[in-house]
Amino acid sequence: NNPHLFLKGLQWAGGIGAMILYGILPVWMVWKGRYCLGKRGGELLPVGKGGLLLILALAIGIITLTIAQELGVVK
């Protein structure tokens, strides 16, 4: 048995889960509200489509880097 397996699982869930929860989901909710449902109001995130896509790209980049580090591709 591997005694560090639980800690490895926490690292995976923490890194990837945090980026999904704090990076991808907020962008998706703002995009859906603004551009699919046409909701307007007091915008807490004052960026347009370009800013949202940048945030999404950064979150996906961090997830990719985390997976690459865990797989040993990048140190």
Which residues lie below 8 Å from residue 24, measured CB to CB, with a gap of 6+? 56, 59, 60
pLDDT tens by residue, the chain, 75 residues:
788 888 888 888 888 899 999 999 999 999 999 999 998 877 777 889 999 999 999 999 999 998 898 888 987
Cα–Cα–Cα angle for 32, 66, 8, rounded to 5 degrees: 115
Q: What is the pLDDT of residue 8?
A: 82
Cα pseudo-dihedral 9, 70, 72, 5, rounded to 10: -10
State the Cα–Cα distance between residues 35 and 72, nearest whole angstrom.
Answer: 39
Q: What is the pLDDT of residue 7?
A: 86
Number of H helices, E strands in the chain: 3, 0
Q: What count of Cα atoms within 13 Å lies in the side-chain half-sphere of residue 30? A: 20
